[in-house]
Structure 1
Amino acid sequence: MSKVNLAQTERAGLVEALRLAGSDAPTLCTGWDTRDLAVHVLLRERRIDATAGMFVPPLAGWTGRVTRAYRSREYDDLLADIAAGPPWYSPFARPDKFLNLAEMFVHHEDVLRGGADAAGPWVPRKLPPGLDEALVLPLKTVGRLTMGKSPAAVTLTTPDGRALLSVGKGAPVTVTGSVGELLLFAFGRAPVDVALTGDDEAVDRLRNAARGL
């Protein structure tokens, strides 16, 4: 029996969430509605030539043209392409279950939590078996990138006391939550179901610090 590809499970969940939300619903990605998010996923997987403009200013015009072309397509067609996964020529095709797991999980949650009060409480969905554990490696990788310059010495910890990552400098702050919620916190998403403990000033600085890639 083949092992479940959790990246594909999350991809299917993302597509269903996008379909149920419709093409102009809010997401947790600032300035993006669901159509924008769908276009982002497809450009990343199918038009890597167009993503260069995000990092190389002279190529921004090309990125804009390709983005507008994708955005003008029928929403259902965009979703069908996301569901199909990266094509054979995509750098994300063969290592799909490794490189796309965190991407699909985070964007799935971006849609599910779109429009929610960022400062309010959130009750996470029940994750598929094994998903939380599979997100440990992405959390460690992403956390070092997004919180390396944290204004506090942050320790990301699960409710059972397992410290997964320590990063940053300053007064110590512990962030406690499930692996999935910690990953969302590391990406700067809100609302998330985590608890921050430590010096009040350090907690406030961390809570308000920019996080994300």
Structure 2
Amino acid sequence: FELPALCRSLVPKRNNRSSMIYAMIAGIPNVGKSTLINKLAGRSVAKTGNEAALTRMQQRIEISSDLTLIDTPGMLWGNIENEASGYRLAATGAIRDTALELQEVASFIAEFLIEVYPESLVRRYDIEPLPRTEIDLLEAIARKRGCIVSGGRVDLEKVSRLLINELRAGELGGLCLETPDAFAAEWAQVEVIRAQKAAKKEARKAMRDK
């Protein structure tokens, strides 16, 4: 069991074996913090589930005679300025499904997968050739999976939920929704928008001060 030894190596001045070490588990919602604690504890001590905000308050779990883990609620930025980051968080379930429109999140996922992971779509849904647009892809998946309502129309809400759930369950394979280069480009755009907002604010202030 290496975790206590690793924790002690991080605080070498506290080398008294009889003293308890307290370690906090922290991260964004729905990434498996509670699952990790249950694995380390060897028993179900923290509530888990495929949705955000299941952990509502801090709780202490004794892992061994000299290590206690503190499970914490997920943490997020106060204001998610990068729109793509918001969609990624929604896609993975790090924020509640009610935070963004389901079909918008599914469209974001579909567009991303067409561009970056087309082979995963072909393998999972057996669709060839792949559609070029996200809406065409959602419609193709809907017809493959029977997400159809009366009149043969596609049930966009049902297929959107299907795609999101299968992404979260790992049915599409191991995917990375973000790369350093893409993230840097997105934040460069955020900085441009910030500068534009700041300029407008200063212009309004100058008008009031006249």
Fold agreement, TM-score > 0.5? no
Higher RCO (CA 8 Å, separation ≥ 6 residues): 1
Q: TM-score, normalised by structure 2?
A: 0.31
Decide which structure has the larger Cα Rg and report it. 2
* TM-score scaled by length of structure 1: 0.30
